[in-house]
Amino acid sequence: MNLMEFNERFPNEYSALMSVKQLRDKQGVICRKCGYDQHYWQQTVESFQCKNCGARQRLRSGTIMEQSKLPYRLWLMAIHLVTATKKSFTALELQRQLGYKRYEPIWYMLHKIRTVMGKRDSEYELTGYIELDDAFFEVGDPHQKPNKAGRGSTGKAGVLIAVESEPTANQFRKKNRKEGRKCGKLTMQVVSNITGKHVESLVDGKIDESATLHTDGHKSYNILDQIVNRHHITISNDPKRISKLFTWVHTAISNVKRVILGIHHSVHSPYLQNYLNKFCWKFNRRYDQKNQFERLLHTGLQYRWC
Ligand SMILES: [Zn+2]
């Protein structure tokens, strides 16, 4: 969908509201009081009313828009811009594009969108052959230098990154292949430290136990021997060899760092996960560009942001 098509589909606030209403109808509205699934639509109060007990439910309730006063059309336009643009953008840029007076509601809206992107992706588990590595991201004030380099320094946040990297029979380099490996789904998790406990929690939530994990042999990854099917370790001082063997995880790390440094310059640590959520969500749907708007809108109506 381009901007012209968006304007044709949602020419005004009413059309946006009715699209949200129809989509919620399609997903199925369940009464919070009695669990009944049949409702009347009350246009004047923008609410569903249960046919059994009469309890009302606002159109926004239980969705990403709950507690927001921003118009529906603005939400849909933000979702459109997030999904239709290749490059990332800041909340300030979004505020400019939407022509909205206040910055804070737009900033919150964008973070809510990024939060539900993460919620949706957390339902998938990575499987098969997986490259796992960690990286440190500078967080907070960009002008404040971190105290020390490497693992665990202040001013930096640790992130565990895992990406499916299936070996393929076809050795030719194609757009989605490197050195005979096909890149699948990606996940990134901010952790307070890179320890065995954190690695275990990543595997618990986001990686199938039957997977084979490939790491650089850092001691935090020893735990993998006990919790996944297979754990391959490569210890090497040869950067070329390492970059070949961890080709996709290193590509993901450098790309996300470029986005964060290039566009957002610096992020505050509590929000880093949200930036990573958005990066992963878009990456995981890179071959389904044309349906990204519908998919994100659908997700936004299914998940509350808090
Ligand atoms: Zn009811």
What's the gap in Å between 16 CA and the centre of ligand 1? 26
What's the gap in Å between 37 CA and the centre of ligand 1? 8
Confidence of residue 170 (pLDDT cuts 50, 70, 90): low
Confidence of residue 168 (pLDDT cuts 50, 70, 90): confident
What's the gap in Å between 137 CA and the centre of ligand 1? 48
CATH 3.30.420 fits 129-267, yes or no: yes
Pick the residue with more confidence: 177 or 287? 287
Which amino acid appears at position 99 of this protein? G
Given this model, what pLDDT does residue 304 score? 76
Domain ranges of the chain: 3-121+291-298, 129-267
What's the gap in Å between 50 CA and the centre of ligand 1? 5
What's the gap in Å between 49 CA and the centre of ligand 1? 8
Confidence of residue 152 (pLDDT cuts 50, 70, 90): very low
What's the gap in Å between 53 CA and the centre of ligand 1? 4
What's the gap in Å between 34 CA and the centre of ligand 1? 4
- Is pLDDT above 80 for 213? yes
**H or E segment and range at residue 161:** strand 156-167
Given this model, what pLDDT does residue 269 score? 84
Say what percent of the chain tops pLDDT 90: 68
Backbone phi, then psi, for 171, in 5-degree steps? -90, -10
What's the gap in Å between 32 CA and the centre of ligand 1? 7
What's the gap in Å between 154 CA and the centre of ligand 1? 52
Mean pLDDT lowest among 29-33, 184-188, 302-306: 302-306
What's the gap in Å between 31 CA and the centre of ligand 1? 5
> Which pairs from 11-20 meet CB under 8 Å and 24+ separation?
12/73, 13/71, 13/72, 13/73, 15/73, 16/71, 16/72, 16/73, 16/75, 16/76, 17/46, 17/59, 17/72, 19/72, 19/76, 20/59, 20/63, 20/65, 20/72, 20/76, 20/301
Distance, CA of 222 to CA of 205 (rounded, Å): 18
Sign of CA dihedral 133, 113, 77, 260: negative
Distance, CA of 61 to CA of 79 (rounded, Å): 18
What's the gap in Å between 39 CA and the centre of ligand 1? 8
What's the gap in Å between 29 CA and the centre of ligand 1? 10
What's the gap in Å between 301 CA and the centre of ligand 1? 20
State whether residue 126 is helix, strand or coil.
Answer: strand
What distances in angstroms separate CA 117 from CA 46, 69, 83, 269, 298, one per listed residue?
26, 21, 11, 18, 11
Given this model, what pLDDT does residue 299 score? 95
Confidence of residue 173 (pLDDT cuts 50, 70, 90): low
Backbone phi, then psi, for 274, in 5-degree steps? -65, -40
Distance, CA of 288 to CA of 185 (rounded, Å): 13
Given this model, what pLDDT does residue 160 score? 96
Q: How large is the average pLDDT for residues 113-121?
A: 95
Q: How large is the average pLDDT for residues 133-150?
A: 69
Given this model, what pLDDT does residue 248 score? 94
What's the gap in Å between 38 CA and the centre of ligand 1? 8
Backbone phi, then psi, for 187, in 5-degree steps? -140, 145
Q: Write the pLDDT tens digit of every residue in 43-87.
A: 999 999 999 999 999 999 999 999 999 999 999 999 999 999 888
Tokens representing residue 67 in the block: 């507690």
What's the gap in Å between 18 CA and the centre of ligand 1? 22
Helices vs strands, H then E, count in the chain: 11, 9
What's the gap in Å between 47 CA and the centre of ligand 1? 13
Q: Write the pLDDT tens digit of every residue in 233-252.
A: 988 888 888 878 889 999 99
pTM for the structure as a whole: 0.88
Which among 49-53, 203-207, 300-304 has the top mean pLDDT? 49-53
Confidence of residue 287 (pLDDT cuts 50, 70, 90): very high
**H or E segment and range at residue 259:** helix 247-259
What's the gap in Å between 244 CA and the centre of ligand 1? 58
Say what percent of the chain tops pLDDT 70: 91
Which amino acid appears at position 270 of this protein? P
Tokens representing residue 140 in the block: 């907070």
What's the gap in Å between 56 CA and the centre of ligand 1? 8
